[in-house]
Amino acid sequence: MAESILNFGQQLVRWYHAHKRDLPWRNVDNPYLIWLSEVILQQTRVVQGLPYYEKFAAAYPTVVDLAAASEQEVLRLWQGLGYYSRARNMHATARTIAEQYGGEFPDNYSDLLQLKGIGPYTAAAIASFAYNEPVAVVDGNVYRVLARLYGITDDISSHKGKQFFAKYAQQLLQESLPSVEPSVYNQAIMEFGAIHCTPAAPACNTCPFKQYCYAYTNEMQAQLPVKEKKIKTKQRNFIYFLFDYEGQILVKERMRGDIWQGLYDFPMVEEKEGAPIVSSELIRQTYEQILPLLPLQNLAAGTLVNGLPLQIAGISGTYKHQLTHQSLLVQFVHLKVIAAEFWQQISGAGFLSVSQAVLEELPKPVLLANYLQEYFF
């Protein structure tokens, strides 16, 4: 491991003032807005997160406003950002702050850590940016900068590695005091990792630390930081069915414990054997799987899908959707129901029947919203 760098904090802060991006949550000491930006930016790039931050800050200027919103409104505004548990936790935390803390954020790291959905990183960000408490933030950018600069080879996905980095980052911040402000130092190190010492193309040639940098000296930029655990992604194939009776659509709310909890989607079937091929037989099997077997003999005759009073109105192309551990291939089948009795039976079977206008407003996984935009509305 490399030696410590003289005046590291001061040099870093100098770099920051010369190069930082102008972002709306910079130079803000309102803990609510800081928290909002941090929650939105977790696992999200700034360009993608920025419009969401602006939407949320405009719709809910204070934590009390956010607490007063319904979960459905919050999820609808969050739609497209993914990781919906973040939105639900954020909303629950806003309610806790409104109800138990009189609408005021706790003003220190350890009290912030007690709140649901606020982990060490977010607590450090709020405590330092809003209250200037000297607690070091450690996010992916900080791991990368420290690992490369100081040649730290501990695995950042291991518990031991995380502990080591947290301790090291804290020590560096302490060493830089009092000549730097904790709030500025923390923002500086994250910004340096985000735009200068980037994962794939660090700008070493113009780096103020290149003469001290372990990774640069040893040509190890690509090997650092060390991350052993590879996330295995699983391929899954879904077919969604949009049952439509005279403009009424069948939807279902995703339940507790589900990654899409609180969002609405359509009846769906998973094809285990590979990419699905939509056929009349598949629709029949799906129907039997996802909806109860209903007495069909009394139903009005019409164009039938394999014996069911359904007409295929359209089959979408295949949508790809990437989740953290899953890669989804999804197709949508739009089915027109052509018998009122049949509709009454299926819409009473644990599903909700909604109009197109309501469907448009409901929070949905983004791939459903994309499909509806492209094929339906």
Q: Which one of 95, 196, 334, 336 is in contact with ligand SF4 (CB under 6 A)?
A: 196
Q: Is residue 342 a contact residue for ligand SF4 (CB under 6 A)?
A: no
Of 134-142, 176-184, 215-223, 266-274, which segment contacts ligand SF4 by CB under 6 A?
215-223
CB atoms within 10 A of CB 17: 9
Q: Which one of 81, 213, 308, 310 is in contact with ligand SF4 (CB under 6 A)?
A: 213
Catalytic residue among 3, 38, 228, 288: 38
**Annotated catalytic, 38?**
yes
CB 69 within 8 A of CB 60: yes
Of 165-173, 214-222, 257-265, 337-345, which segment contacts ligand SF4 by CB under 6 A?
214-222
CA atoms within 13 A on the CB side of 79: 20
Q: Is residue 168 a contact residue for ligand SF4 (CB under 6 A)?
A: no
In whole angstroms, give the CA distance from residue 129 to residue 233.
Answer: 36
CB 220 within 8 A of CB 149: no
Q: Is residue 152 a contact residue for ligand SF4 (CB under 6 A)?
A: no
Residue 169 token pair = 């980052």
CB 210 within 8 A of CB 311: no
Strands 326-337 and 234-245: what pairing? parallel
CB 276 within 8 A of CB 282: yes
Q: Is residue 5 a contact residue for ligand SF4 (CB under 6 A)?
A: no
Q: Which one of 46, 50, 204, 278 is in contact with ligand SF4 (CB under 6 A)?
A: 204
Q: Is residue 202 a contact residue for ligand SF4 (CB under 6 A)?
A: yes
Q: Which one of 88, 91, 95, 148 is in contact with ligand SF4 (CB under 6 A)?
A: 148
Coil, strand or helix at 342: helix
- In whole angstroms, how close is the CB of 216 to ligand SF4 at the nearest point? 4
Q: Is residue 147 a contact residue for ligand SF4 (CB under 6 A)?
A: no
Q: Is residue 207 a contact residue for ligand SF4 (CB under 6 A)?
A: yes
Q: Which is nearer to ligand SF4, 141 or 286 (CB)?
A: 141
CB 161 within 8 A of CB 225: no
Residues contacting residue 126 through CB under 8 Å, at least 6 positions apart: 31, 34, 35, 38, 105, 112, 118
Q: Which is nearer to ligand SF4, 82 or 193 (CB)?
A: 193
> For the chain, what is the largest distance between any 2 Cα atoms, rounded to a whole number of angstroms?
85
- In whole angstroms, how close is the CB of 210 to ligand SF4 at the nearest point? 4
Q: Between vectors from CA 95 to CA 89 and to CA 99, what angle results, nearest 5°?
A: 150
Residues lying near ligand SF4 in the complex (CB under 6 A): 148-149, 196-197, 202-204, 207, 209-210, 213, 215-216, 221
List residues with catalytic annotation: 38
